[in-house]
Structure 1
């Protein structure tokens, strides 16, 4: 039995029927994966490495009782693996509809909080749908977990070291070190295959600041007004929709960043900001500046993932200059705002706040989440992947997309993932607020073209 960490408890209690606290990913292939080999990889690299994938969460009654993890006595790997079928014609629209359906379906709370579906009927190779509750880990940690399932070639197959025999007198710290070392053998190597760090505008070292900056950041959070009403805000329903773009060559985004004296992250955020402007215009609503919640990883990337996983990230609040019409000026203003956030301890403060609300009574946490969620309109996550193609159970991974959950009354999530020299942008939306998520994807690519035209280097 292990008590649930306060930050993880905060994410558990944020779940509502209108916003499930679940990270969803879809991986697709050019040829069908071998089902039996895939099961062996999941057992070996997921279930046996990370205890959370064979533990269930117990939520005892009582005002002061805290949730805790325990081994599921009835755990069976097959109970978390399933098959799904994409109906004809088996194109991406059909796969998006299937992902949307499962994104709107809660996980079974009486079992370990995860599920994989092998999807047949999509293209020539099928897909793999992954759903994992946010309580287990944050998006960056789970991205590293998924990468640890991969190999660098079709023939390679990782064989774990035999477990060390531990007697009853083995100190707890030694068990932890051995466990961390075992996990490092796979996940650290997978991460160092060449993750393209386009996602983390703020690193751990940037968070060590003086008390004056901490006080200023806390004051900014306290005085920050709520976001204005737009077509992206309103009552939420239980139906979610997912959509994603065709791959975008990463080298073109890099070249655009060099031409505009900006980072890749700045360029992608500027394109998103322009897309939000276009969408508001297309829907006939007022064009308003919006605020985005951006997760910031607080773990060193060169350290192994702890066997216990968990959430270790904060949030920064980025004001997007949506009202700015001219793409170059919009990028310049966005870069200035992002550079200012890099010098702020805001992410560390929000991480501490989440830990505190996780210890508070549920009613207090709900009120705090509502106040926090009112300050922004969307969550924007950018996660790096390997620079070169990788293989899952001997099958080459053609592409991957993921979505993190929104909390409170936030109904729009934007995710960007880079893999093998390509960038893919995806959205998850509340179907009642944004009935046409593909429009946002199209607007995003149109804004990248507009930026490139402004820089005099329009991509093909």
Structure 2
């Protein structure tokens, strides 16, 4: 048994039917590189099953302490069943980008079963009419609870089910996993009692580590090296209230070379600065079109990994955060980039003065029962609608592979991100890089953003404006799909192609056959 940290447990306490707290990704794959030129669903099941030993999160489930008197524990699930966690659906014709966005949003809006290992993979086939993608592609939509991973440890989980070539070579490491028995109530309560006795000592240790950082911060502020002028509550926007149970999702990819060229226009600027400036410009245009743009700058919370070299494969979250103004009050894109860079430098200096790891450790001091009760009350009384937000949105950067990746022999052609929203923060922008592209994805409450295609268009416009200002040459982001209609697509007729057939239970799988999707040039049918 391994106990969750206070930070990990907070994502369990924040979970409600309207605020599922899972993160994930949307990988798109070209099956023409797989053996035979297609991928069957039973192949997907066996491939993932062979890689479960690559990440502990795959087979660990939560055990909660009665009345949340202490933080939950991870145990090796004695009832693990891979067929519960790997699902399969298909888009109706024509299988375009807008249909995929709607399906991803639907999948993301559904809470996970907290009594099972906290991950789900859904294979979505039928991506036959997405601009920029070869026909016959399929998507793998992943969901992993935020209590189990952060962005960096999620990369480790993704690496477990991806290869560097299409050979599907079995992993060299032997899988020696063993299930555990469920702990009894008396054992959990006893552990809770002894943990409570140690809590005062942990409080003193954390405060002692933070005092030198506080003194350093005060010294840097007095010298003028760090400014606290912008450390105030963020302006209220449509994205900062109580969220509903429904989501929207979309993604806009850009050429990484263009982003890197744009950062050269401002001394010492980073790729993250450029992305924040693009998001700021997109939010400015989106809110201005609705006559809702605040005079003050919107702010973004940017997570910072404090994961050490020896902790890359560790479970849970090891993150701190910075709050950075996005320059939404500035019309000129170059001035906005300079402003975002200056604010990011200042925010980083404040965080470094105190210590990002120390700030993360403060989450351990919150009593478990109080944290759970506070989270539930905050949601039930709709408190998010009554106060100014600490920040307006989240922009989180997850670095990806620079070389091609393969899943079940199929080459990954695109990678996007999904992330949770919650009361007072209804818009999040995961930024995923893969190969020579970097994509700004976004998940939002559907009532707050009923027109996600407009925000996607605003991000493209912001990119183009900053590119033109920084380099003097217009640029066009990578196209995923044309502008989408505001209405949902009508139900299509049953496709003529034969979709992947779900595998039967493993005890009879050897006697079954399955159908598969072949390249468009070949006749499709049973294999």
* Normalised-by-shorter TM-score class: 0.7 to 0.9
Q: Provide Cα deviations, 1:46-88, integer angstroms capped at 9, x if missing partner.
A: x323333212212232362542222322211112111112122
Decide which of 364, 373, 383 is 1:363's aligned counterpart.
Answer: 373
Whether 1:268 aligns to 2:275 is yes
1:327 paired residue among 300, 322, 333 = 333
Quote the Cα distance in structure 2 between the aligned partners of 1:436 and 1:328: 28
SS in 1 for 2:62: strand
Q: Residue 439 of structure 1 corresponds to which residue in structure 2?
A: 454
Please tell me whether residue 95 in structure 1 is matched to residue 111 in structure 2: no
Counterpart check, 1:74 vs 2:79: yes
Q: Please state whether the residue corresponding to 2:39 is helix, strand or coil.
A: coil
**Larger radius of gyration, structure 1 or 2?**
2
1-structure distance, mates of 2:369, 2:66: 15
TM-score by length of 1: 0.82
Q: Per-residue deviation at 1:446? A: 0.9
Query: Which residue in the other structure is 1:459 paired with?
Result: 475
Aligned residue pairs, count: 416
State the distance in 2 between where 1:19 and 1:51 align: 25
Change (3 A) 1:33 1:341: farther
- In 2, are the aligned partners of 1:414 and 1:426 still within 8 Å (CA)? yes
Superposed counterparts of 1:58-457, under 5 Å: 58-62=63-67, 64-123=69-128, 124-162=136-174, 210-214=213-217, 224-245=231-252, 247-261=253-267, 262-288=269-295, 289-300=297-308, 302-303=309-310, 305-306=312-313, 308-345=314-351, 347-357=356-366, 359=368, 361=370, 362-364=372-374, 374-455=389-470, 456-457=472-473
Name the SS for the 1:141 alignment partner. helix
Deviation at residue 336 of structure 1 after TM alignment: 0.5
- Cα distance between partner residues in 1 of 2:18 and 2:174: 44
Q: Do the aligned partners of residues 220 and 254 (structure 1) sit closer, same or farther apart at CA in structure 2, a change above 3 Å counting?
A: closer
Structure 1: gaps of 5 or more residues: 167-206
On the 8 A contact 2:302/2:394 being kept in 1, the answer is: yes
Q: Distance in 2 between matches of 1:144 and 1:35?
A: 24
CA displacement, residues 196-252 of structure 1 (integer Å, 9 cap, x when unaligned):
xxxxxxxxxxx998442456899999x95432222323331110111112x311111
Given that 2:41 and 2:88 are in contact with CA atoms closer than 8 Å, whether structure 1 keeps it comes out as no
Matched-pair contact (CA < 8 Å) for 2:68–2:369: no
> Which has the higher mean CA deviation after the structures are superposed, 347-356 or 89-98?
347-356
| 1:316 Cα deviation after fit | 1.1
Partner of 2:50: 44
Aligned Cα root-mean-square deviation (Å): 3.1
State the match for 2:29 in structure 1.
29
8 Å CA contact 2:322–2:348 kept in 1: the answer is no
TM-score by length of structure 2 reads 0.72
C-alpha change, 1:127 and 1:163, in structure 2 (3 Å) is closer
Q: Provide the C-alpha distance between the structure 1 equivalents of 2:211 and 2:89, rounded to a whole number of angstroms.
A: 47
**Structure 2 unmatched runs, 5+:** 32-37, 129-135, 179-209, 477-527
2:196 alignment partner in structure 1: none
